Structure 1
Amino acid sequence: MDRQKQLADLQVQLQLLGEQFAKRLKEELPQLADRARQLERSSDPAEQLEHLQELRNQLHKLAGSAGTFGFKELGDQARSLEQQSQQWLSSLELQRKGLETFIDDIQMLAGTSDLCAAVVTAPSSVEMSLNSSPNEDCHLIYILEDEESVGESIRRTLSTFGYQASHFASTAELDEAIARLSPDALIVDVNLGNTQQSGLEYASSLLARLPKVPPFLVLTTQNDFDTQLQAARLGAVGFFSKPVDVAKLESRLERCFAQQGGTPYRVLIIDDDYELASHYRLVLSSANMLVEVINEPNRILETIARFNPEVLLLDVNMPDCSGPELAQMIRFNDDWIRIPIIYLSAETDIGLQMNALLKAGDDFVTKPIADKSLVATVFARAQRARLLSNALSRDSLTGLLKHADIKEQVAVEKERALRTGKPVSVVMLDIDHFKKVNDLHGHAVGDNVIRALANLLRQRLRRVDAIGRYGGEEFLAVLPECSGTQAVQILDEIRQQFSRISFSSGIGDFNVSLSAGVASCVELEADALIYAADKALYAAKNAGRNKVCLAEA
């Protein structure tokens, strides 16, 4: 489905939600007027407070939702009356004269039924970008570096990591290449010795000419504030001082591509207003986010456990419990501490907002919120949350899951396999004679070998597969819905491809092999499954290395 068709469908769905909201107003506004009449007739202070509380709740809900569906004036009036109702509730005694004026104002608001007949149009702010599907192809990297040895060293290393890298010594050569094919990322040296133009000046003019700006990384010997500021103004995503740590440069590239083509951010909305929550879901879904909505707060814990959201949008005022109370319950679980919580509410009192944030929230957004602002707010929080989560759970050298996290994935996928009746395979693999690599070529080259294997595993295995660095040169992978025979075939192809990669060091080029063990018996506990894969790995080692062995059933 193309972008225009998606936007057209979105407009239709938002239009339908707007019409549903208008119909709801025809029912709710008379109910509001009836509640005001009950308040007017009541002489019992306790009954008056009960009616005022109900009026306040209804006005609060209306103030938060009306503007989203095009009834801005109605929402503003409701907000003003909500604030008055709160003042009455806070008052120690009800002054009859002022209360009568308040009741008259509510009757006037409820009489605006002509608003419900207005044509509801979907807000124009839904013109937001729709991300294309992620690109699984090998990424093309262009390197502008006038020092031949430096440029070629970076090119060879990036090629080892699985990128299609090309090195250019002059701006003219790079211009010719870009005229034929645009790169997925651009690496530019600031200090171009054979031209009057600096690398950043050239990059400024080049990026302005490109129809789509690729991730842009800077190499330099000038690690000063002004150079970094100039790079930041050009939109650089990486700044590396010479001599360049190519492993860190590749890690930054991998992170950029992961952000571009990663899985959709998962957003959970908890709001008792069905139409409003549905509107938010449509808007965020159109921005390529995976969204679930629950209208009943008591379902929140089971939904979080199943859906594993990266952002929570939480209404503050709901029946039976408040948003801050739910947020505190969520924070009881250490596994959910990383999830950012954004309160959505028509509440404008700064003191009440601060009180909610101090309990367990991370941000407070006042309803109504424009669609573009909603997308920007959620996207920024989700992006940051994923970056922080990855930083905490992933190995700094390879970007793969750490020891504890990959072991947890084994348990998760083993339990899933038991429920679904589908197979799961666990793979333990390591690099053959890795100590010799470090001893002969140095630990920096050894790190490159480890990163190259990590990159190859990421490229060849599926997105649903989990991969972790188990320790040193040892890796662990979990392949759901994959039999042991299938896993052996996949890993053997990876083994052959890895053995063909050429690595470089000061004493020359060399090749490295790997060995792997596969276990696929879901009746075993997670630790026993890992042990079986490890035992198969040692069988491969004892058989002469550079092999893949399947554990005995």
Structure 2
Amino acid sequence: MKILLVEDDPTAAYILEQELSTHHYTVEIIADGQLGLELARTFHYDLLVLDIILPNLDGISICRQLRSQGLQMPILLLSAKESSSDRVMGLEAGADDYVVKPYELPELIARIQALLRRGNSTLNTVLTWEKLQFYPDACQVTYSGSLLHLTPKEYSILELLLRNPRRIYSRSAILDHIWPSGEFPTEEAVSTQIKGLRQKLKGAGMTVNLIDTVYGLGYRLKAPPEDLSSAKMSQEKTEPVKTRSHSAPITPADKLQAEAKVQAVLQQVWEHFKESLPSRMMLFEQAIAQLSTGTLELELRLSAQAEAHRLIGSLGSFGLPKGSEVALQIEQLLRLESLGKNEAQLLRYLLEQLKEIVKDKPTTTATASDLKMGLSRLLVVDDDAILTEQIEREALNWGFEVKVATNPTVARRSISSHPPDVIVLDLTFSDTKENGLTLLAELAQRTPRIPTLVLTARNQLSDRVEVARLGGNVFLEKPISSEEIIKAVTQELNRNQKPEAKILIVDDDFQVLAAVSTLLTPWGFQVKTLVDPQQFWETLAATAPDLLILDIEMPDFSGIELCQVVRSDPRWSDLPVLFLSGHNDPEIVHQVFAVGADDYIQKPIIGPELIARILNRLERTRILHRFTEIDELTGTATRRKSIRDLEKLIRFAECQNQPLCLITIDLDHFKHINDQHGHTVGDSVLGLFGERLKQFFRSEDIVARWGGEEFVLGLYAMTREKGAKRLTDFLKIWCQQEFTDGNNQTFRVTFSAGVAEYSQDGTKLPELYRAADAALYQAKAMGRNRVLVSNMGSTHKVESL
């Protein structure tokens, strides 16, 4: 198939061309919009991929002109513009799909393939799976010739999976594909529809489960039964419906080779791209220099803006999404109507960020071997050839590298040469009298431990107790499906992933430091040791550990004194602190916990106990941070975290002599929404509001939920007037969002807001909050649905709906 790619960023275009070539597509690349239009008019293409911002003619105009002339080839638009209004404009111009830069290559390829399938449908088709037949044109589904009566949602889910047989869809992805944007069901709605679909298929006589649940990921179409020919899975000719066949399945080896080829090409392109970076950065430097003096020329501004736009796609293609995000911020900054010294400083900050991101990118080239080594290694110790083959096939689909050992002796050799990440172990073997429990006992002595799942037909309590004593992680009883085995393996492997954590150990005994460091390093910890307590404060700041281990008795400063210092500083008040000591005096133990220690371990150190306590403490800290830093419903920062971040920004604004805009927001009549439409709908409103705020404002801005329907924003280097204008722009967009409850009642939601500024309205966070909150309540008193600036007596109002 032939694809015309109109893209003025040569790097992004070349990378996409190489990826499409591995899928056997013919790609023509044009950098000029007007020339792209002429080629699309003159020659046949199966698909047109258009960037929106192009020289001479933009992608939207190309799309409109082609559709006005009756040309119907599929069109996919690429753009860094991600607002709903931009997407609507592109789709209304006649585009079939709209992908936001930076994009994930696998997703973009999947979308291109879907458009090509739809665009080449001159023949009617029927999708088949065993005895199931799906007629898209007739909107009918049959099994063994009998008509199935499906709900519209069941029908749509089935079509989605049949048209994309190798793709895994999360429940949220299915919601996005199937449900209208005005509806806000929970993910359980997907589970309910799939359950109903499975029951109807089973009732029609289907003996296998058509839809696989991929643990932790979502749903996908089950591979056809092994005894079916490849033609059975293809789209067969029927009367009166004609068909076309699927392409040959891609094996894991094919996928690895294709990925390796793309990675090799990416590495070559990256080297060339790096050579061009100094001139690209110089363009931004020139813009900053002119902007600092208030003399930014229009031509330079437009050139820098266009360069930032190109970098969004290029950096995303190289696997640098953070770089794309910064480039997008630079582009948005350069698009502002008025630019001055404050914007020059922010542009300088963003440029330094961009340089750091690019500098830190690895330069090694991935090979097929490297890619394979990136897979989790699974060792299956079982002599059941049929079951191990099924496990191997299922495990490959889940991204495992699988090795099979038919007895414990072979398993020992495999573990010695290539230690696996996880083991599935049977307890009995036909060719040896050795019991699997012997191998399990040996595995219990390894450091670090390899998660081991015992798989056996022996379901005796004594076996279960012995497996537990020997450290077996999971006990699986035969008979069991390969899918259930791999699901358990994945769950256990995720639970036993090596922790990525930094640990600082302070002890004046070199032998203790060496012993503890040797014990912790194999577990994946980054260990920093310190023998001189005099250097503690500098080392703590430089290391920024996730956990601190202290001895009690040390020269100059005791561990108890160091713990007191840590707990008295807000930056380290939540840092987990463990004490190692030879003391067992109850008074000392009491003193240790009184100064804020989290745990106390008596010397001599017992390795497994120390590891277990560290892992426990880190896991609790991780869970605590999750609930104390991120609001689960809205995805925004919590009140506690945002207060810390806002106070840092205030200190930074003071040092840099910059403004800081603090905004308080309250959704109007929210109690009425909960009372009339239900709390579930109310939660949907809050969730979407938090998501939209994060999308609209800069990534460095603070977006937080302070409770109920109250939100707080912190905008660095922005005055209250500019902050109020930006929030008013958001209010105009938000007011157009429609919600629908369970009774199909449609409604919209407005908000009121107050805006304050450091240092005009105060120099401390409580002062700024009181000023913004006073403006908020004044906005409510004036009729709501508006943004009011503190102490200014004027509002930026949007008429009530």
Relative to total residues, which structure has the larger helix share, 1 or 2? Answer: 1
Short-chain TM bin? 0.3 to 0.5
Which is bigger in relative contact order (C-alpha 8 A, separation at least 6)? 1
Instruction: Provide TM-score, normalisation by structure 2.
Output: 0.34
